[in-house]
Structure 1
Amino acid sequence: METIYPYFYTKSEVIKELERLHDQNVMVPADKPLFNTINIPVNQGYTRGGTQLQNFQSVGLSNFAFNSQVTLTHDSYIYITAIAQNSAGLQDVSYSDKILVDLTPPRIEEVLDGDLLGEDLDAWKENTVYVNWKVTDDESGLEYCEWAIGYQPKGIEVQSFEKIKIDDRKAYKDFDPSLLQGKTVYSTIQCQNKAGLLFSLSSNGVTIFDQPPSMASAVIQTRPLSVTEYPAMDYYQSIDNSLRIVWSGVVDKIGVQQYKISVNSNKYNLDGEGLSFSDAQDVLFASVRNVDLGQGQTNVTLQAINKLLERSIPLHYNLTVVTDKPMKDASKQLSLTWHDGNKEFVVSWDGIFTSSHPLRFEVSAGTALGGGNIIQWQETRATSITFGLPESVTGTSRLKVYMIVRAITAGGDYSDILGTITLPA
């Protein structure tokens, strides 16, 4: 009788395949009839010839047997015994080698994006996919492993599963840039052990991009710092010892690793200070304190550096530090006029205030000094204003009205001029 060929067993199925017996047509003595039937009883057990799992059962003339009603123990060994008997009653016995029961798939401990063993990168520039892995199967051993690449875990959009050399523990493959550039790809390793069990695991993905951060939608500005309660205008400030810089809109597919900020004025120079932030922040801030910027123009430059050290084009912002108050011509007074027919005041301060930078004005008027019960904090860029009396003010005969016009510089500092007018009886 020839060899029994067993498989590694999985779950509760026992598969046994026997070679056709060479003595299927057994020759008997000449004075006996010729028989052509053979009966083959098969058993299973934990020892050679044992029947702990299955007693001998006849399988007729078949050269294989299948039993799905047994319960196997993982990482144990079993034996199969087959007895062949022909019609003449002659028998032969064959024993299998010990057979390992493996009920678990291969163990893939890690799948990493990187060319070196144990290396896991988030990004690179090359149009190449690198992968390294660690996989074991301590019971039946590995039959084969395959590698696929996609745009999502377990995906195959870039490459369907291809066989790889298990012992190399790493692989790489070049692709057309159109498949990789600007995309995040995931490697999946799938392995089957000699018991026929499969397991797969994907990497956490790698972004492939060879461009610097984009500043096309980026915006940078400074907070309008002022020495008074009035905010500075855009591109101005009156505080000359600090800056608050804010920016947003920098785009990079693999993430910005660092920002470089430069500040230059006629008294201060900061050359490429490096700053790092969390990727979760959309709006970013930086402060420069305890410096002497001096008066005049200050230039701020921002540059982004991504995780592959690609530098963006610089983004510039210019502001002007104005610490002076508006100049006031002491020889001039407010022009205050009351039009009785229209019940209106016309106030003009043209030529009283001057500055080399834009001015804005705030006007208040009241029936008491410093009051605002007629108008209060009315803002204008003009040098005159017209307004009437509110309904709450009754009786205009000999009414004395106090007015204040405040000129505010672009930096936020200011100067005032006062005036009064007494209405006719």
Structure 2
Amino acid sequence: MTGNTGILFDDLKVQRTIFHHHSDVNENGKHIHAHVVALHQWSSIHASWSFVDPESPIIDYMWAIGYTEGSREIQGFTSVGLNNFAYNYNVSLAHTSVIHITVIATNAAGLRHEVHAGDLLVDLTPPIIDFINDGIGSDIDAQTTDEVSANWEVHDAESGIDFCEWAVGYQPFGNDVHTFQELNEGVKRTSKVFPSSQISMQMVHVTLRCRSKAGLRSSKSSNGVKISNLPPNTTTAEVEILPHSLTEYNPRNHYQGDTSYVRVKWTGFEDLTGVDSYLLTFHTQDKTTVISKSIIAEDQDTSFCLLRGLDLSTGNFTTSIKAVNKRYLRSEPVSSNVVVSSNAPTLIVNPLLQLALDNRTIKSSWENNFKVYQPLYYEVSAGTTLGGADIIQWQETKNTFLEFQLPPKIKSLRDLSGYISVRGVAANGMTTVLNAAVKL
């Protein structure tokens, strides 16, 4: 080019141009979008931006990452060409640290503009769901209505809660009753009425699923609520009075001789919501209550109760048990009877026990010797000496006679004497003994 060379401008248009300088700090964060992705021990940083230069085309973008605005401790300035986005997968970030992203755009005229993203908080933890309770307050285990309710507490101190969803299922974290539905912001309780055919006699669980503004999720299920408006089932329930004896002989046939103790056993009461307690009533034949008490249900198949300190007169008594479920619904009563009598069998005046020997067979009879007030059985022992039992011992019978053989060890029958003891045992366990000595 010589001194006479010039430049011809044609179709010249004058337009005002505003240049952005490094001092334009008020623009920071408006042109760069950035976020962190964290998964287990791995994390990455993603950023995107938008620049416009109507005069000269943009020819290059560079970006850097640091802990303060404009710094490069995490990543130095790196060119990404004309891409308006960038990411760094090879980075380790500390929870709750704050990072800054800087982007420099260069146009064809060599001019640069530097922009800083807003503070980016690194949040590596999902929302914390402190609890989720069935019901509108403290957690409930059972209910009678078809309205499923839940309340909870959730927070995320670093990023805040973006949104939460809730669902209802037959299993924890299930949604087969009610699919996940987004909740309004800040809601901490919800409820919904379902068809009785869908949830009656079922246990249902409410599940809460929340996402933080950092994109992290957490979920938690309630421990479940059982829904039933039916009282406890007594189909397989049984109540039994365990007779208490004052002697070594066990009572039989719903009799007992002890007038101060009654032992009760029961089993088989069933309820979906669980049995909370039992109501026990012990009353006379004319329905006069002797004692009534509530008994906390234990986690066992069979329950027992000892009624002590009683002063029962002779007569018939009934024990009734009602089961009470978690919703305080009572079952029909299941009962058992007992006859209380401390009376022992008695003998007639001048009792006579008959014995006869016929070819080594002894026939004994004590018919009409015992006065019978309740069912009796007899325990027979016989020997060749007083108090002995070398012929038979403790032979039980319900008859008033007994035949038995002399044992082979008794060789001679000459001058043989027999000693026999017949003990009458009443159904209440009380006894009376009839003794006799006969020359055979």
Residue 266 of structure 2 is matched in structure 1 by 247
Given the alignment, which residue of 370, 373, 376 partners 1:356?
A: 373
Tell me, what secondary structure is at the counterpart of 2:293?
strand
Instruction: Give the deviation of 1:266 after TM superposition.
Output: 7.0
Tell me, what secondary structure is at the counterpart of 1:40?
strand
Q: State the alpha-carbon separation in 1 of the partners of residues 181 and 404 from structure 2.
A: 84
Residue 427 of structure 2 is matched in structure 1 by 410
Count, aligned residues = 409
Residue 66 of structure 2 is matched in structure 1 by 45
1:87 matched to 2:108: yes
Instruction: Give the deviation of 1:332 after TM superposition.
Output: 4.2
Residue 204 of structure 1 is matched in structure 2 by 223
Residue 32 of structure 1 is matched in structure 2 by none
1:374 matched to 2:395: no
Question: Is the 8 Å Cα contact of residues 241 and 337 (structure 2) preserved in structure 1?
Answer: no
Instruction: Give the deviation of 1:420 after TM superposition.
Output: 2.9
Tell me, what secondary structure is at the counterpart of 1:69?
strand
1:4 matched to 2:35: no
Residue 33 of structure 1 is matched in structure 2 by none
Q: State the alpha-carbon separation in 2 of the partners of residues 353 and 271 from structure 1.
A: 33
Question: Is the 8 Å Cα contact of residues 268 and 293 (structure 1) preserved in structure 2?
Answer: no
Q: State the alpha-carbon separation in 2 of the partners of residues 271 and 210 from structure 1.
A: 32
> Where does the alignment leave 5 or more consecutive residues of structure 1 unmatched?
29-35
Q: Cα deviations across residues 18-62 of structure 1 (Å, max 9, x unaligned)?
A: 23x323xx535xxxxxxx662111111122221111111111121
Change over 3 Å in CA distance of 1:52–1:287 after alignment to 2: same
Q: State the alpha-carbon separation in 2 of the partners of residues 37 and 335 from structure 1.
A: 133
Q: What's the Cα RMSD here?
A: 2.2
Instruction: Give the deviation of 1:115 after TM superposition.
Output: 1.0
Q: State the alpha-carbon separation in 2 of the partners of residues 349 and 422 from structure 1.
A: 17
Given the alignment, which residue of 129, 133, 138 partners 1:112?
A: 133
Q: Cα deviations across residues 159-178 of structure 1 (Å, max 9, x unaligned)?
A: 33221234121111222223
Residue 89 of structure 2 is matched in structure 1 by 68
Q: State the alpha-carbon separation in 1 of the partners of residues 377 and 87 from structure 2.
A: 96
Tell me, what secondary structure is at the counterpart of 2:91?
coil
Moved more, 414-423 or 401-410: 414-423
Q: State the alpha-carbon separation in 1 of the partners of residues 295 and 354 from structure 2.
A: 56
Q: State the alpha-carbon separation in 2 of the partners of residues 6 and 113 from structure 1.
A: 39
Residue 52 of structure 2 is matched in structure 1 by 22
Question: Is the 8 Å Cα contact of residues 9 and 102 (structure 1) preserved in structure 2?
Answer: no
1:168 matched to 2:168: no
> Where does the alignment leave 5 or more consecutive residues of structure 2 unmatched?
1-19, 21-29
Percent identity reads: 36
Q: Cα deviations across residues 368-408 of structure 1 (Å, max 9, x unaligned)?
A: 11222221111111222121123444433332221111111
Instruction: Give the deviation of 1:338 after TM superposition.
Output: 1.6
Moved more, 173-182 or 397-406: 173-182
Write the letter of the residue equivalent to 2:32. Answer: I
Tell me, what secondary structure is at the counterpart of 1:179?
helix
Residue 135 of structure 1 is matched in structure 2 by 154
Residue 312 of structure 1 is matched in structure 2 by 331
Tell me, what secondary structure is at the counterpart of 1:59?
strand
Instruction: Give the deviation of 1:311 after TM superposition.
Output: 0.8
Change over 3 Å in CA distance of 1:271–1:230 after alignment to 2: closer
* Larger CA Rg, structure 1 vs 2: 2
Residue 31 of structure 1 is matched in structure 2 by none
Instruction: Give the deviation of 1:135 after TM superposition.
Output: 0.6
Q: State the alpha-carbon separation in 2 of the partners of residues 263 and 370 from structure 1.
A: 43
Q: Cα deviations across residues 120-171 of structure 1 (Å, max 9, x unaligned)?
A: 1121111122111111101111111121222332233323322123412111
Residue 300 of structure 1 is matched in structure 2 by 319
1:235 matched to 2:254: yes
Write the letter of the residue equivalent to 2:435. Answer: L
Change over 3 Å in CA distance of 1:267–1:368 after alignment to 2: farther
Q: State the alpha-carbon separation in 2 of the partners of residues 210 and 6 from structure 1.
A: 55
Q: State the alpha-carbon separation in 2 of the partners of residues 185 and 386 from structure 1.
A: 70
Q: Cα deviations across residues 96-135 of structure 1 (Å, max 9, x unaligned)?
A: 111111111111111111213xx11121111122111111
Question: Is the 8 Å Cα contact of residues 267 and 292 (structure 1) preserved in structure 2?
Answer: no
Scaled by the length of structure 1, the TM-score of the pair is: 0.90
Tell me, what secondary structure is at the counterpart of 1:84?
strand
Tell me, what secondary structure is at the counterpart of 1:68?
strand
Q: State the alpha-carbon separation in 1 of the partners of residues 246 and 435 from structure 2.
A: 22
Q: State the alpha-carbon separation in 2 of the partners of residues 391 and 157 from structure 1.
A: 81
Residue 388 of structure 1 is matched in structure 2 by 405
Q: State the alpha-carbon separation in 2 of the partners of residues 139 and 77 from structure 1.
A: 11
Question: Is the 8 Å Cα contact of residues 169 and 205 (structure 2) preserved in structure 1?
Answer: yes
Change over 3 Å in CA distance of 1:331–1:284 after alignment to 2: same
Instruction: Give the deviation of 1:199 after TM superposition.
Output: 1.2
Instruction: Give the deviation of 1:262 after TM superposition.
Output: 1.8
Change over 3 Å in CA distance of 1:209–1:272 after alignment to 2: farther
Q: State the alpha-carbon separation in 2 of the partners of residues 272 and 128 from structure 1.
A: 39
Q: Cα deviations across residues 318-372 of structure 1 (Å, max 9, x unaligned)?
A: 21122222242334412212220xx322212222223132111111111211222
Q: State the alpha-carbon separation in 2 of the partners of residues 272 and 356 from structure 1.
A: 27
Tell me, what secondary structure is at the counterpart of 2:186?
helix
Write the letter of the residue equivalent to 1:3. Answer: H
Moved more, 303-312 or 132-141: 303-312
Runs (4 or more) in structure 1 with deviation over 6 Å come to none
Instruction: Give the deviation of 1:297 after TM superposition.
Output: 1.0
Question: Is the 8 Å Cα contact of residues 299 and 318 (structure 1) preserved in structure 2?
Answer: yes
Question: Is the 8 Å Cα contact of residues 36 and 44 (structure 2) preserved in structure 1?
Answer: no
Moved more, 128-137 or 352-361: 352-361
Question: Is the 8 Å Cα contact of residues 167 and 181 (structure 2) preserved in structure 1?
Answer: yes
